[in-house]
Amino acid sequence: MRASMIIKGRVQGVGYRNFIRINAQRLGIKGIVRNRGDGSVEVFAECRDALHARQFADAIAKGVSSNAEVSSLEFFEEGGTNYKGPWKDYHGSFIIDYRKHE
């Protein structure tokens, strides 16, 4: 099951992408995370099933990462409206894409 997410709030410059990566690795999720030009963070996640994806989304929505404050998390399942697949190869792991996307 694949999902993409857009997280808004104070999520850039506070270690939030690393927090997401740590949670993904803990849960055995593959994918990628990056900052967006509008101040949000974008995630692509490859999970076992929908429950696994929601567990990951719930964990990262709490935003307990240094000074991060999550105001919203939009969740999109593969095949649904606004779903976005991976924009870069993540080589079967979970990586941080350090290039900012507009």
Q: So where are the chain's domains?
A: 2-101
The pTM is what? 0.93
What fold characterizes domain 2-101? Answer: Alpha-Beta Plaits (3.30.70)
Which are the catalytic amino acids? 17, 35
Give 99's pLDDT tier (boundaries 50, 70, 90).
confident
pLDDT tens digit sequence for 3-49: 999 999 999 999 999 999 999 999 999 999 999 999 999 999 999 99
Helix (H, G, I), strand (E, B), or coil: what is residue 73?
strand
Q: Which helix (H) or strand (E) is 25 found in, with range?
A: helix 16-27
